[in-house]
Chains A and B, each alone.
Chain A
Amino acid sequence: MSDPAGTIAQEAVLLSASGVSKRFGGVQALRDVSLTIRRGEVYGLIGPNGAGKTSFFNVLTGLYSPDEGRVTFDGRDLPPGVPHRIAGAGIARTFQNIRLFGAMSALENVMVGRHIRLRTGVIGAILRTPAARAEEAATEARAHELLRYVGIDQLANQQATHLSYGDQRRLEIARALASEPKLLALDEPAAGMNATETGGLRTLIEKLRGDGLTVLLIEHDVKLVMGLCDRVAVLDYGEKIAEDVPDVVRRHPRVITAYLGQQADPEAA
């Protein structure tokens, strides 16, 4: 199968969703959404509140099963509604309202993020076999590396709930990175951040792209999205109304209507 436009070589496509629909009672959260994410790009997903962005993430990561449609990732169909297999396939995410393991240290949070790549079972853990010990040491080393990567290694032993808001967001990204994802999905990572923190986040995402990671970014901060993303899709009432490079999307009449219908300045959301 080739993509509809026929412009992208198949190996350049990392993820393609086709005809994804999801309904909650009377609310059509997603209506026949199709989109394609290419390897190495930062792909923005924007839209007014309640447009279905988070629902799309939830379908993508298996927390919801779609009513219709399917998602192909890295050349294979994703099993709908099986989060751990999807994580194993290489999709990791953060949450709009941060969901860390509060009682654990920052380091342990990242180590949990690596769970799917580890093999130690009950027997290995109890006997602490050489393999188990090596794996555990490597996990800890890698977790420190990732904390350093996002810039909070000095907080490794702090309890997650004691971190500042911005650091919690960074920790969530480090935890997601621990699973060695091919696609990192960030749900409004800049929400609640001040200008400095947002600037730092932007630098971090650019670093991730520089290191070859594909990023799917939900964001309300239009400046951030337009400045950072290679391509942007717009959802409105569960429907994809536009998908293109930022400059084109910005001028798209339906996008302007969708945002103006809600509020004049989408940045304020």
Chain B
Amino acid sequence: MTLPGDPKLRARLGIVLIGIALAVLPFVVGANFGNSWVRIIDFALLYVMLALGLNIVVGFAGLLDLGYIAFYAVGAYLYALLSSPHLATAFPAVFASAPAWSVWLVLPLGALVAGLFGVLLGTPTLKLRGDYLAIVTLGFGEIIRIFLNNLNAPLNLTNGPQGINNIQSAEIAGQSLGRSFELFGLQIPSVTAHYYFFLALTLLVIFICVRLQDSRLGRAWVAIREDELAARACGINTRNVKLLAFGLGATFGGVAGGLFAGFQGFVSPESFGLLESIMVLCMVVLGGMGHIAGVILGALLLALLPEVLRWGAAPVQQWLFGKVLVDPESLRLLLFGVALVLVMRWRPAGLWPSALRKRELAAHAEVA
């Protein structure tokens, strides 16, 4: 028999330990593997946000969306336009100088605009499901990308395929995250500052997802996924609830996009292709559709493992065969494909599916 307060205490202890690990992570990684690995972790955090956003649409509400990256693009371009000299260069008559918007304004605005795009995509697809919905959303994603690619004439809004350069890094409390700086005697490199910034927002996204999942709305999404007709008969306004899923999911994409633009300093349409949408979808499916922890795991795995491979493939082959047989880049895609097939064959619900079964076991234990 364990003390009643024990599991709670253990959970709290776990949270504290995870918190400490997350706090020191960039310093440990940076010192041992170099700052390029901290940068990789930063990108992984962006993918976690994206995957959690898409999880609302695909995992909770069961609406297969193949154009999700479009919202990432919307957020990224909005940030780029509002934090780079592009508009001032392209339209000197209208914009006297480069806009210098606060990140605390640009990010919410990006979330809002991306959310509106989400609703825009959702509205005509309300009656569609499965393959049809997938095709339409795929088309939507491509339309956004093609617009970004071609909106350099007659008005040069997006600078076309060249993309937008010289995007200002986010500035927090007067300190630009783009340069390394000193804080409490510690040297904070740009990638590390970004890490904390992204981590804070990722935690916020996770918090929002958890809260929504355990609410009337989260239940309504899952009900629609499980049986839309029954959900309607239960009094769920499926139109509004689906639009909410599209809108909220897109919002997260928009925030991640803005962070991406500020971090990278540069955006171009090729970052927002179909393959990116599919990558994020794979993170959701592979991790465990509809299960927040599983989706986070999926995003981290798919964002980090390829980098580990890229880093380790050549030396390992060198060591095994004396020469590099398969170049790391092709090996990466090959293993990615194999991993997908294996997971879908052996764990169709994902690597870490939702906990309903766990709850069932707990109920059995209670009875016993």
Contacts and interface: CB of A to CB of B under 8 A. Distances in A.
A101 B226 contact: yes
A93 interface: yes
A156 B363 contact: yes
Contacts of A88: 235
Given A115-B220, A154-B367, A179 B226 contact: no
A23 interface: no
Leading 5 A-B pairs by shortest Cβ distance: A116-B235, A87-B235, A125-B215, A157-B363, A101-B226
B207 to A, nearest CB: 8
A175 B234 contact: yes
B127 interface: no
Q: Interface on chain B toward A: helix, strand, loop, or mixed SS?
A: helix
Interface string B218-254: 1110110111011111111110000010001000000
A198 interface: no
A268 to B, nearest CB: 29
Contacts, number: 113
B275 interface: no
B229 A84 contact: no
A100 interface: yes
A15 to B, nearest CB: 16
A157 B360 contact: yes
A117 B244 CA distance: 19
B211 A84 contact: no
Contacts of B232: 62-63, 83-84
Contacts of A61: 233
Interface stretch (A42-50, A68-76, A104-112, A232-240): A104-112
Contacts of B236: 84, 112, 115-116
A189 B161 CA distance: 62
A135 B219 CA distance: 14
Interface string A126-158: 111000100110010000000000000010111
B292 to A, nearest CB: 14
B151 interface: no
A101 B359 contact: no
Contacts of B360: 105, 157-159, 162
A165 interface: no
Contacts of A128: 211
Contact of A158 (B208, B229, B363): B363
Interface string A186-228: 0000000000000000000000000000000000000000000
A101 B228 CA distance: 9
B98 interface: no
B235 A84 contact: yes
A100 B232 CA distance: 12
A12 interface: no
B227 A100 contact: yes
Interface centre among B222, B233, B360, B363 (most CB of A within 10 A): B233
A157 B226 contact: no
Interface centre among B215, B220, B227, B363 (most CB of A within 10 A): B215
A253 interface: no
